[in-house]
Structure 1
């Protein structure tokens, strides 16, 4: 579903053309019911959504457009259990892909604070994270989201 958003969506390249691939973008934009419903919600609530975080199953990355916030989130994630997360722009940390959620939320829904977070791990377990690692992963992303919310609130609050 990551590449199934309508902003600059394009059909699968040969690299991602297998419908069973983790990176398959679908046969058309918003083919996945989940992406369509989230897009509909975001379009129906203009100016009420201040941030959008597209959470992924694994990779231990925090990709964003404002580096200061991203680095702070990565520090907040690490502070919980010592797990190291990389921060940076998604196209530099993973790969370039048309039709992704953060590009759509920023360019189409107008959400300035659009991010992508890749949770534990770095590929050992992939999408099948052992139960013993789920709670620590949730604790880390919660700390990161709280940090991001406070960061945004501090910047956007009138002095």
Structure 2
């Protein structure tokens, strides 16, 4: 299926978001998608068992995010590709953002937990998870504001 055929088959919401991102891809420095659950910071590629050429740079930045996230309350996160930490699968938006839109730093953050509660995180965990996730997001965005990278 070509990219054009794929676009034509998209749901209206997906098409609107992909058009929005593609129209601004030169300005977008980081693409993040949040998912649950597994406590992982995933780096492309997820659809195949190989890594992008700039994987190491992506990994180093993600590592800053994971360190900041873990510092909040000690939640352990794994870091790597979806293919190596989970299994190879297609359709992940971080792979699309990197491969199609060309956004270098594209990640999926798999939020807590690791299976005790699965997709139904207790209400008491929502705020702490938000706080630690926000710490990780702030840490990686500082890469661009502190270093003044274009």
TM-score, normalised to structure 1, is 0.74
Q: Which residue of structure 2 lines up, in the alignment, with residue 87 of structure 1?
A: 79
Using the TM superposition, give the Cα deviation of residue 154 of structure 1 relative to its aligned residue in structure 2, in angstroms. Answer: 4.3
Using the TM superposition, give the Cα deviation of residue 151 of structure 1 relative to its aligned residue in structure 2, in angstroms. Answer: 2.0
1:60 and 2:52 aligned? no
CA distance in 2, matches of 1:89, 1:45: 25
Name the structure, 1 or 2, with higher relative contact order (CA <8 Å, separation 6+). 2
1:49 and 2:23 aligned? no
SS at match of 2:98: helix
SS at match of 1:124: coil
Unpaired segments of 5 or more residues in structure 1? 1-5, 10-27
Q: Which residue of structure 1 lines up, in the alignment, with residue 111 of structure 2?
A: 119
Q: Which residue of structure 2 lines up, in the alignment, with residue 77 of structure 1?
A: 69
Q: Which residue of structure 2 lines up, in the alignment, with residue 157 of structure 1?
A: 149
CA distance in 2, matches of 1:48, 1:119: 27
- Greater helix proportion: 2
CA deviation vs aligned residue, 1:97-147 (integer Å, no higher than 9, x gap): 112111110111111110110011011111111100011111111000001
Contact residue 29 and residue 99 of structure 1 kept, 8 A: no
Unpaired segments of 5 or more residues in structure 2? 44-54
Using the TM superposition, give the Cα deviation of residue 155 of structure 1 relative to its aligned residue in structure 2, in angstroms. Answer: 4.9
CA distance in 2, matches of 1:29, 1:55: 24
CA distance in 1, matches of 2:79, 2:17: 25
Q: Which residue of structure 1 lines up, in the alignment, with residue 121 of structure 2?
A: 129
CA distance in 1, matches of 2:66, 2:77: 5
Tell me which stretches of 4 or more aligned residues in structure 1 moved more than 3 Å: 28-31, 152-156
